[in-house]
Amino acid sequence: MGEFKVHRVRFFDYMPSAIRAMAFNHRTERLAVARSDGAVEIFNFTDSYYQEKVIPGRDGRAVEALCWVGQRLFSAGLNGEITEYDLENLRPQYIVEAYGGPIWTISCNSQGTHLAVGCEDGTVKLFEILKEKIQFQRNLDRQKSRIISLCWHPSGAQIAAGMMDMIKIFDTETGRATHRLLVERGVGTSKTREVVVWSVAFLSDNTIVSGDSAGKVQIWDGSMGTLVRTHLVTKWDVLALSVSQDESSLIAGTSEGTVVQFQFLSSTVDRQDPEWVRTRTFKSHSHDVRALVLTDTAVVSGGMDTQLSVRPLLDKVEKNTQEAAQRKIAFPHRNLVSCAKKAGLLLFQFPDHLELWRLGESDGNGKPGDSLPLKRKPEKLLQLKRKGEDHICCSAVSPCGGWLVYSTVSSVRLYKLQYSNNSVSITKVSKLPRELQSVHQLCFSADSSRLFAASSQSSVVVVALNQLECKYLQTLRHKSGSRQPVHLLFPSEDGRWLATANTDCQIHVYNLQKMKLHCAVPVHSSCPTAIAIHPTSSRLVSVHADQQIFEFSLLQQEYTEWSRKLQKQGLHSVWLKRDTPVTSVGFSPRNPTHILLNDTFMFCIIDQSLPLPESRTLLLNQTVLRSLPGPERARQSHAFKICKNFQNVLSVALLDDLSLAVVERPLLDVMAQLPAPVRQKKFAT
Amino acid sequence: MAKKQRGKTASSSKTAHKEKTTENLNMILESSDDEAPEEVTFEDSKVQALRSMQQALDTARREKELLKEKRRKRQELFQEQKKRKLLPTDVLEEIDSSATKKQKQATDEAEEEQQEEEEDKDEKGKRREKKKKTKKSAHSRNLKGNYTVTTTNDRTLTSFQQQAAEDFIKSRLYGPGSCRTTSNELLSLQNKKGTNKSAAVQFVKKDWACKQKAKAEMLKKRWIHKQRFPSS
């Protein structure tokens, strides 16, 4: 498999922020997730839950609710603003002030013509959705207390609004409140405390479902304004509700971290009239569940513990398949770590600052598996705070360690670093070309003389760097007409090629000597998650969200022999069952037939000279091989050499001195920093 | 006695003092009826009268001066108090000078800014500096050290409302009566229920719960001390 000296890096204190709101687009199968720092992420549910897009947050943009209208995404937050996002340029498109104080909820009618927002001052405001903008239409009757939750009746004629201590039903034609449903307060000490209706759902048969801070899920008759049924679900709060599209099932998320499912069933076989019956309880979170989506096949939940959980409903999916497995997405699918391979530096990207570390050194030699004594400890060279209120969306350090660049949605900042025996000096490059403005991805060429920046309409801006100035060279464009953002950039080691991948699943390769498009790789149906070009043989390796691996020869402009063989034989089922995408591809200069891959739970070397694993052989055979004698070992070994020593891996990079830098972030460390969970009594503890 | 009376009268009126002295003389003559009149020459009495008059004038002037002095001291005291309420002069000077000088960032980027300043020596830099000055809000001024002087009315209504709304959520979810525990408890519960039990997290992770550990260390020291010297 090859031996490496490994820098096991655990000083990247990456802390994901809590999930605050979610919205699912049933037509495109995209899930939008809003985090408490204001960032919005888009997951593609048809493509292995791949995190396609990330719109960075901003200080003070506390997104409280999300809403899809067709392909458009709207959010509303406690800063009192409604934002529509530009999903092609990954930034807010425009912001409309609602003038009603903090906005707690946003909801769109099923016709897609109007948005309703619930404000702190007790008004429900209707906005008309126009092309390219939204326009305020009118207020419904103003109430005395804040509007916490809203739901339109599918017909669009009524709106149910959850408030403090009550639910009101509004007629959208007249704007008058037609019914007032009083919600009972909790028992005991919380009697004096107002109850908050955190979530409300309005079904087409005029049933209203509410979830409140007293831990009740209540079913109301909306036409008569009467309470039908109360289900006491938890001692804490019911924070979120979600109803399936066919209205046969609904889920409620609680502070305990449980998700409770209710179904519309007849309770006994002989009775005809169906009612809402509590059926299942899922516990996929340790902390409060604050956002829920019930898709056709799965319960999607997220909350204070920052993980996105996708739990398939076993009556809706085929058992014992890839589909039936629960998924937890704890880490972003893009790289937050940038590595200066020559200088042995790591750049960590946080939303509000960057950290530059020098890796430790060791001169000891040991057996494989030993931990070597450190000669020099890893040291933090630099902590760079970002300017402005926008969060950092991407960053890079050059391979020589002499340049550092980061970008927010509004600006790009480039710095020159100089090292003198124990100190670092940093100089901002003052004049950047005007083309460097809205940037989604950044990287440096291998010789640190060029900066590549993925810009709008999946173009790439090339900037030349030298000691004195930084000069705009050219913008590379392709002709496919795709306007989706580029999420991967890879310049080849020899400086000849630049490969880009965008979220339309396209991969383009540019010739950097002629500064024009060289070729487009045939489009695979799944989005590429990592791409790389072999340093000597100009072959492009791409790994996709569905775990497929392709190798494309740039000179012949066709798939290589090995890639064809791999496709013909098919990948091993264990490989295909992995649930995290491969986030980086690398090559070993020591052995040109080796491809290095990693995802969150493993590190893998593919040896192209060895035979591919048969479907019946063991894929994870490293321990078995170690115990076998020489000739037998050679007979049994296959191309996929997988190492699972490292867990919760954020990044793996091969340095120029052939040592590996593995950046881990143990989930325990993340969990230790989370806010307080609820106190639960467990038997015998 | 006569002196005294004369003194008093003299102090009351200056202009008609001559007439008054004669009056007084008469009075003295009248009062000492039964005794034989002492022989006082006119010259003597005149000198005495003049001296006493002079004395009276002097005391009056002195009194006036004293009063003036008192007022002045009081004024000074007030000014002193006023000054004491203000910031120290060096701080005030710093504020004045920083208004004209370039505003420095007192954060981690200080280093970087210094570099910029060096650059700024050329003209281009100066132009950019100007731009920077206009960009920054006029309400905040940075001082030399880690202090920043900002006017508080810069914050708008929305941010207060936002803060209030965030506080509402926080109080509902984490406020009193919410029955919350700590992550440490949760982890230890998980540890107890898990298949392979290990030491509690704060022992496994050295860098965790530093505060509690420091406190425990202190209490331990105190306890040992108590054991050793039970009387004290």
Q: In which band, very low, low, confident or very high, does the pLDDT at A251 lie, cut at 50, 70 and 90?
A: very high
Please tell me if residue A667 touches chain B, with a CB cutoff of 8 Å. Answer: no
* Residue B191, pLDDT score: 83
- Distance from C-alpha of A547 to C-alpha of A639, rounded to nearest angstrom: 16
Mean pLDDT of A433-446: 89
Please tell me if residue B42 touches chain A, with a CB cutoff of 8 Å. Answer: no
* Residue A245, pLDDT score: 92
pLDDT surpasses 80 at A272: no
Backbone phi and psi for residue B131, each to the nearest 5 degrees, phi listed first? -60, -45
Please tell me if residue B179 touches chain A, with a CB cutoff of 8 Å. Answer: yes
Closest partner residue to A685 (CB to CB) among B124, B181, B192 is: B192
* Residue A367, pLDDT score: 79
pLDDT surpasses 80 at B206: no
User: How is the beta sheet containing A441-444 ordered, strand by strand?
Assistant: A441-444, A450-454, A460-465, A470-476
Closest partner residue to B108 (CB to CB) among A255, A385, A430 is: A385
Nearest 5 degrees, angle CA A242-CA A119-CA B151?
Answer: 130
| A642-655 pLDDT, tens digit each | 989 888 999 999 99
Separation in Å, CA of B192 to nearest CA in chain A: 7
Beta partners for A424? A419
Structure tokens at A138: 């009118």
- Name the amino acid, one letter, at B128: R
Please tell me if residue A425 touches chain B, with a CB cutoff of 8 Å. Answer: yes
Q: From A79, which residue of chain B is nearest by alpha-carbon distance?
A: B162
More confident residue, A329 or A631: A329
pLDDT surpasses 50 at B120: no
* Residue B109, pLDDT score: 42
Please tell me if residue A568 touches chain B, with a CB cutoff of 8 Å. Answer: no
pLDDT surpasses 90 at A41: yes
Separation in Å, CA of B208 to nearest CA in chain A: 8
pLDDT surpasses 70 at B232: no
> Which residue reads 């050059």 in tokens?
A398
E-state strands within A492-639: 497-502, 507-511, 516-521, 528-533, 539-544, 549-553, 558-559, 584-587, 594-598, 603-607
* Residue B142, pLDDT score: 60
Is residue A622 within 8 Å of residue A633, measured between CB atoms?
Answer: no
Is residue A446 within 8 Å of residue A432, measured between CB atoms?
Answer: no
**Inter-chain residue contact B201 with A62, CB threshold 8 Å:** no
| A275-333 pLDDT, tens digit each | 999 999 999 999 999 999 999 999 999 999 999 999 999 888 887 777 788 999 999 99
* Residue B119, pLDDT score: 42
| B165-180 pLDDT, tens digit each | 999 999 989 988 788 8
Separation in Å, CA of B175 to nearest CA in chain A: 11
More confident residue, B216 or A269: B216
* Residue B97, pLDDT score: 66
Between positions 4 and 33 of B, the ones with CB within 8 A of A are none
Element (H, E) at B55: helix B42-85
For residue B124, list chain A residues with Cβ-Cβ distance below 8 A.
430
* Residue B110, pLDDT score: 42
Q: In which band, very low, low, confident or very high, does the pLDDT at A373 lie, cut at 50, 70 and 90?
A: confident
pLDDT surpasses 70 at B213: yes
* Residue B117, pLDDT score: 43
Please tell me if residue A423 touches chain B, with a CB cutoff of 8 Å. Answer: no
A42-51, A148-157, A316-325: which range is least confident on average?
A316-325
| A399-418 pLDDT, tens digit each | 999 999 999 998 999 999 99
* Residue B149, pLDDT score: 65
Q: How many CB pairs under 8 A join A and B?
A: 104
| A509-541 pLDDT, tens digit each | 999 999 999 999 999 999 999 999 999 888 999
Beta partners for A154? none
User: How is the beta sheet containing A238-243 ordered, strand by strand?
Assistant: A238-243, A249-254, A258-265, A275-283
Structure tokens at B213: 């550990």
Separation in Å, CA of A428 to nearest CA in chain B: 7
* Residue A479, pLDDT score: 87
A570-574, A621-625, B35-39: which range is least confident on average?
B35-39
Q: From B158, which residue of chain A is nearest by alpha-carbon distance?
A: A79
Mean pLDDT of B96-112: 48
Please tell me if residue A196 touches chain B, with a CB cutoff of 8 Å. Answer: yes
Q: In which band, very low, low, confident or very high, does the pLDDT at B121 lie, cut at 50, 70 and 90?
A: very low
* Residue B34, pLDDT score: 66
CA–chain centroid gap for A40, Å, is: 8
* CATH 2.40.160 holds for A246-329: no
Q: What is the mean pLDDT of chain A?
A: 91
More confident residue, A317 or A472: A472
| A333-369 pLDDT, tens digit each | 999 999 999 989 999 999 999 999 999 888 777 777 7
Domain ranges of chain A: 246-329
- Distance from C-alpha of B47 to C-alpha of A671, rounded to nearest angstrom: 105
**Inter-chain residue contact A415 with B112, CB threshold 8 Å:** yes
Percent over 90 (pLDDT), chain A: 68
* Residue B35, pLDDT score: 65
Return all residues near B95 (Cβ < 8 A) that are at least 6 apart. B141, B143, B149
* Residue A657, pLDDT score: 87
Mean pLDDT of A376-392: 91
* Residue A242, pLDDT score: 95
Q: From A104, which residue of chain B is nearest by alpha-carbon distance?
A: B165
Please tell me if residue A468 touches chain B, with a CB cutoff of 8 Å. Answer: no
Tell me the C-alpha to C-alpha distance, in Å, between residue A153 and each of A65, A157, A158, A560, A598: 18, 7, 5, 56, 47
Is residue A526 within 8 Å of residue A47, measured between CB atoms?
Answer: yes
Please tell me if residue A429 touches chain B, with a CB cutoff of 8 Å. Answer: no
* Residue B92, pLDDT score: 65
More confident residue, A470 or A117: A117
Separation in Å, CA of A364 to nearest CA in chain B: 25
